[in-house]
Amino acid sequence: MKTITDLLRDHPFFDGMAKADLEFIGGCGMNRVFKAGEYVARENEPADHFYLIRRGRAVIETFMPHRGALSLKTLRDGDICGWSWLFPPYCWAFDVRALDNLHCIQLDGKCLRNKCAEDTRLGYDLMQRFARIMTERLRDTRLQLLDVYGHPGQPPGDNK
C-alpha cells in the first residue's frame, strides 16, 4: 500500500521535489474521496485544505444571477484544486463540485503554512508551483468569460 509521500511523489505537481520535502509535506496529508455531485468547496466558506486530484473529475463553478452556475474549468487526474488556503482570509473563491467519484489527497492548509514558515526554502518552492497554477487558471477563466460575454462584431463594452 502506498503512503501519502508515495502518492505525492506520483503527482505531477510535486515533480522533481526532494524526497525529504515530500515526507515533510506528507505529514499534512490524507486520502479523501468525494461522491459524484458532492461539493469539494463552496464559495466564501473557509479554505482549510487543498486537493491533489488522483482520479476523477471536478468542475470549478461560479454562480451568476439569472444564469445559475457557470462552469469555469474541469479538473482531472493530476490537477490541483485550491489555492485559497494560501492567502487571508482563507476562503474559497469558487464552488468546486465532483462530477464523478473523486479520489484526492487532501492537504491541510494551516499545517502547510506552518511548515513553510519553518522552512522558507520549501515555502518558496511551493509558492512558485502554485503561482504557475494560478496563472494558468486566471488565463483559463479569462478565456471562459470572453466566451460567455463576447459578442462577435460588437465593440468591447457595448452591451446593446
Domains and CATH numbers, the chain: 4-148 (2.60.120.10)
Listed residue (32, 93, 13, 85) closest to 60, CA to CA? 93
Residues near 53 by beta carbon (within 8 Å), at least 6 away in sequence: 75, 76, 77, 78, 79, 80, 81, 102, 103, 104
Q: What is the per-residue pLDDT for 93?
A: 92
What integer pLDDT is reported at residue 157 of this predicted model?
A: 52
| Res 143: pLDDT | 79
pLDDT tier, 92 (very low <50, low <70, confident <90, very high otherwise): very high
Q: What is the pLDDT of residues 41-84, one digit of tens each?
A: 999 999 999 999 999 999 999 888 888 888 888 999 999 999 89
d(CA 2, CA 90): 30
Rounded Cα distance between 145 and 158, Å, is 15
Confidence at residue 152, expressed as pLDDT on a 0 to 100 scale:
62
Q: What is residue 148's predicted lDDT score, i.e. its pLDDT?
A: 65
What lies within 8 Å, CB to CB, of 86 at 6+ separation is 109, 113, 127, 130
Q: What is the DSSP letter of 91?
A: B
